[in-house]
Amino acid sequence: MVRSYKRQLGSRPYQNYSVEVLRAAVADVKSNKKSIREASEFYGIPKSTIGDKVKGTHDKNPGRQPVLNTDEEANLAHGISTAATWGFPLVEYDVRKVVQSYLNRKGVQIDRFSDNLPGVDWVKKFLSRNRQLSVRLAQNIKRSRASVNHATIQQYFDELKISLEGVPPENIINYDETNFSDDPGRVKIVCKRGSKNCDRVIDATKTSISVMMAASPSGTLLPPFVVYKAKHRYQEWEENGPLGCRYSCTPSGWFDARAFGEWFQEIVLPYYRNKEGKKLMIGDNLSSHITLDVIQKCEENNITFALLPANSTHVCQPLDVAYFGPLKKCWRRILTDWKLKRRGPFQKSDFPTLLNRTLNEIKATSEKNIISGFRATGIWPLNADQVLKRIPRQQDENNDPNASLLSDSLLDFLKTSRMPEPKRKTKRKRINVTAGKAVEIRDFSAPEAILNQVGQEVDLEDFDDEPLSVMRDQILEKKRLDLLEAGPSHHDDFPTEHFEEENLTDSNLKDKPEVQNVKPGMFVIVKVPIEHSSDIKYYAAKVIEKVGEDTESPLLQVRFLRKKKD
């Protein structure tokens, strides 16, 4: 089936006219410029059609009528927009499933749909009828970012208003670090139809280099500060870079407290040296960006900090909002051109040149983008509504029963398909076991399991708010059961996905107990000598079987509860 089919006028014996021509004919008749007969002859439209449109007795379009009426489609489009606003956008298949659920709730069976599920063409036509919707690439954000609310943003702007009093725009800078990756990304290519493997030969790695960028609302971009992942710096890593660029290195390749202090000393202070009055720096709340030395220098130079709300940089960080996007797009293009002419990843000595080319290429639009970023984040000029309008609010419910059915269908779909109940992992606890002491399974069990192993009724209310170890001791003491002494150990919880079996003797067990006193089901700490070394490691194991119990040298068959290294 041709997806882009468009009927030509004259291809069928009815409606051989456009909608605009029909509207013009009806308008002439209603304004008494022409009679129905005259309008029919002049526009080439049947008299009955013009008469029906004038009287309003037939307002439907010719051909098969749509599955959803105008109001239903409007409610569906509103629901799709709301879902996208709340951070759960629907793909085309999701829209089809929502419509299927709505039709099933309504009790309507559509013959043209298979099991009431609309086809791909229906979605395309639906989007063409609702131009307020469009298909775009989504940007993934974490749930923590999506949880930023109006109260948090409003409080931030209330404080920012006080911080900005008496500060000129050239004395404000926003700083943020970003990384330049060695991967130019994927692109669309022209290839043979039906090709399964469409590869582009290009050397890409996961290498990245951190760069601290800073800008002011006046459009000024401060020199970048590059941090390499290395222990030492070399001269060729700092040649042919951007004007005024500074360089440093850290073991991780990211900014730590020392690197941030160097950036502040070599980039920020020289920029503020000739600026009079109060000065303000706006950035994220990373602990490595706030050090005692930096704070002292800020006090000496009349500089204050304004920290952004947590998880809000996607709406409050000017560089993130309007500058880094064009910068990274230009970087990928320049990196692609560089890689097509060379083999292997770029070296640290190549990075300054590539960074300089990138900044020079976007220099024409850099000032405009920076100013737009500060305006879009409401920092300069100060306007909280610029950010608040991007934070979703609770929408009022519609009293229309069809709208309610659509809302229920959409909510059910989001609940089952887009927002499944997360599986919460229990926090791993350290096992308090003395090395070399045999322990029983109840030393690692939950209170309910302890009660089951005790085999008698115990009132848990007698042990409320007690730690597990205390509860266990009290229960066992109350039932007059022997409890092996427990103590601290360096071992973590035992993973259960892997077991190794081995037979042990007295010499393998650490200190006590002796093999004669160990029973199946107990836990023991096993001594394992390291080959070609005098070191000894200890591993926890569970006794499975006791072999040769009546002999002088019985053996223990155990399962190690720590994965054995190859």
pLDDT at position 7: 66
Residue showing tokens 């970087």: 331
- Which of the 8 DSSP states describes residue 321? I
Q: What is the layout of strands, in order, in the sheet containing 523-529?
A: 500-504, 555-560, 536-547, 523-529
pLDDT at position 1: 46
* One-character DSSP codes across 185-244: --------TT-S---------S-EEEEEEEE-TTS-BPPPEEEEESSS--GGGGSS--TT
Length reported for the chain: 566
pLDDT at position 452: 40
Question: Domain 19-55 is of which CATH architecture?
Answer: Orthogonal Bundle (1.10)
Rg (CA), the chain: 36
pLDDT at position 40: 92
What own/partner pairs with CB < 8 Å and gap ≥ 24 does 185-191 have? 185/332, 187/336
pLDDT at position 3: 59
Residue 394 contacts by C-beta under 8 Å, 6 or more apart in sequence? none
Return phi, psi of residue 336, to 5°: -65, -45
The answer to whether the beta carbons of residues 441 and 544 sit under 8 Å apart is: no
**3-state SS class at 277:** coil
- Range(s) of the chain covered by CATH 3.30.420.10: 147-185+203-389
pLDDT at position 243: 95
pLDDT at position 81: 84
Cis? peptide before 251, omega within 30° of 0: no
Which is nearest to 443 in space by CA: 482, 396, 391? 482
pLDDT at position 11: 65
Fold adopted by 147-185+203-389: Nucleotidyltransferase; domain 5 (3.30.420)
* One-character DSSP codes across 61-109: PSSSPPSS-HHHHHHHHHHHHHHHHTT----HHHHHHHHHHHHHHHT--
pLDDT at position 401: 61
Which is nearest to 157 in space by CA: 146, 145, 148, 168? 148
**3-state SS class at 269:** helix
What average pLDDT values come out for the chain (566 residues) when binned by 10 residues? 61 75 91 92 90 83 80 88 76 90 90 92 90 84 74 90 93 95 88 84 89 96 96 94 96 91 95 92 79 82 88 91 95 93 89 96 95 96 91 56 67 57 48 34 39 39 42 44 32 35 45 62 72 68 74 71 50
- Range(s) of the chain covered by CATH 1.10.10: 19-55
* Segment (H or E) for 177: strand 172-181
